[in-house]
Chains A and B, each alone.
Chain A
Amino acid sequence: MSTVKHFLRTVVGRAYPRLVGVWREKSWLIFDVLFPLLQVSAYVYIYRAIGAPPEFSGFAILGGATIAYWMNVLWSMASQLYWEKETGNLQLYLLAPTSRMAILLGMALGGLTATTVRAAGVILVGALLFRVPLQVSHGALFLGVFLLTLVALYGLGMLLSSVFLLWGREAWHLSNLFMEPVYLLAGFYFPVRALGLGLALAASVIPITLGLDALRQLLYPQLMENFRVLPVEAEMGVLAGLAVLFVFLARGGLRFFENLARREGRLTLRGQ
């Protein structure tokens, strides 16, 4: 059994429940598309009330789709290991003679694929409902930025999963904390440059910040001329850097947690 094959089997094994979940729980899909869509609609009308050009409705829709990913990263990546610990799965994962990164990767790939279905739903329905101009000028570049953003984002998710594990019960609150404040700082609904260059750059630790900014630049080049944080190429560079950094840190983080937990007896709930 080659190591690579074993790694891949683990990835597929852990991704499977998430993929299967998409069509096994079809009714969830409705909720998962509906909920962001409600928010998106509200923001579209808020913009319309103050006479914003239609591109801003595009921002709102893009933001809503991004929320689907961010929620997935928070609730199904960052909180996941903590939750697996509570249900007793975590110890079984650590017990298995396989790569922990493969398990995290499987979690990420499964969640990412499942969420893409939802995000696509939000964009499609949103664009149709509000007749928003969505015209991609550089298709390949757009796709590249999008994928890079996802890699960095789920890398962050992997890292957070160890951090949240350390945090224990407070992790749940941490996920809650990372909602509205992150929507604000990462500029889910408006060009992040509006926060000022300094803050926008600081917020770039969240991969969504630059990812969204680059996508907006590619969608609405004229409008974004005055609003962009960095040129698209530079933003891609930063995103790539973040991706590598996060995955690397995630690996260290999980190792750190595992050692700590083995020392302190925290891998499972007490008394089990």
Chain B
Amino acid sequence: MASYDLAVKTEGLTRIFRLRKREARDGAREILALDRVTLEVQRGELFGLLGPNGAGKTTLIKILATLLLPTSGRAYVAGIDVVENPVEVRRHINMVVGGETSGYGLLTVEENLWMFAQFYGIPSREARRRILELLALVGMADRAKTKVYHLSSGMRQKMNIVRGFLTNPEILFLDEPTLGLDVQTARTIREFVRRWLEEHPDRTILLTTHYMHEADELCDRVAIIDRGRILACAAPWELKTALRQEAVFRLRVEGIADAKAALDGMPEIRALAQHAEDGQLLLDLVLASEEALVSVLARLSASGARLAELRKEEPTLEDVFLALVGRKLTEDQDEHS
């Protein structure tokens, strides 16, 4: 195995997509998908990239996996430059994209996985051993001989994940591995990932997600990304602790349609997100201090709002994101791709 400390290292990584005329968005012919991203992922880490749809997560993964070239900046995987020497990089990595399947429906699960193993030069016997072992770990031991077109989509996704681990890569990229999966399957996958890394402490996983729980629960360190930029990068607890000096409240109010407008211009408010539900308005508030709550409530009441519920909460990564970006991670994007 090559000697390197940083599994992934990027310096000012930027990627611009040029659009054809008829694809232009709001008249813009260019999309800045990554904006001077500088990151370091230690060997042995489970590193998370948390950001909403369209943040640039997949773009970053694709560049690291040698499937896309950066517009500028540099990136090293296993200490190797991905632009200069992609062939060498590929020997150290694998990638799984959630929501995608792989292989051919006509083949059985085992045959499909075996086929991919062949592309990595793994002898058949060894491949078979690993396939059965990994399938058992994701609860698919009894499906080895099932043809893929008979599998449910969740099962296909699990098979695809097994494909990523099958080659025992030094660095594995998981792009939204639990995308669209039911809670139970997603949990199985998260447990599997965690366990694999415990058993292979010298391996590295870079995982992207837009589920904050996933990042919180799973990752050693998380980088928060939005609109192509890394806004923060630390362990989840560190990110949350940073918010603890501030105060996070959840409010449920009635009799008001737009609290944002009502609270506009209050310097104590670090971040605010609102969301209507059953005729009430749910507010997530990040305030500079607890004392500020009084003036916020006064202002709301002056605008005709009645308070239905008030809770003080421990900050979550969602609140971290809210404080950093000014909107919630899950808030509807103008971007749907």
Contact = CB atoms under 8 A, between A and B. Distances in A.
A20 interface: yes
Given A6-B121, A9-B121, A88 B101 contact: yes
B67 A94 contact: yes
Nearest to B121: A6
Nearest to A7: B121
Interface in B199-221: none
Contacts of A105: none
B111 A16 contact: yes
Interface residues of B, number: 37
Contact of A88 (B18, B87, B97): B97
B69 interface: yes
Interface string B135-169: 00000000000000000000000000001000000
A12 interface: yes
B116 A92 contact: yes
B306 interface: no
A96 B119 contact: yes
Interface residues on A, range: 35 or more
A46 B239 CA distance: 80
A5 interface: yes
Nearest to A21: B106
A16 B118 CA distance: 11
B186 interface: no
Given A6-B121, A9-B121, A265 B68 contact: yes
B222 interface: no
Interface string A249-272: 000000000000011110110111
Given A9-B119, A95-B93, 13 more contacts: A6-B121, A13-B115, A13-B119, A16-B107, A24-B106, A95-B67, A95-B94, A95-B95, A97-B91, A97-B119, A103-B119, A263-B69, A272-B100
12 contacts: A9-B119, A13-B116, A16-B111, A88-B100, A89-B102, A96-B116, A97-B87, A97-B119, A97-B121, A264-B18, A267-B68, A272-B58
Interface of A: 1, 5-6, 9-10, 12-14, 16-17, 20-21, 24-25, 87-89, 91-98, 103, 262-265, 267-268, 270-272
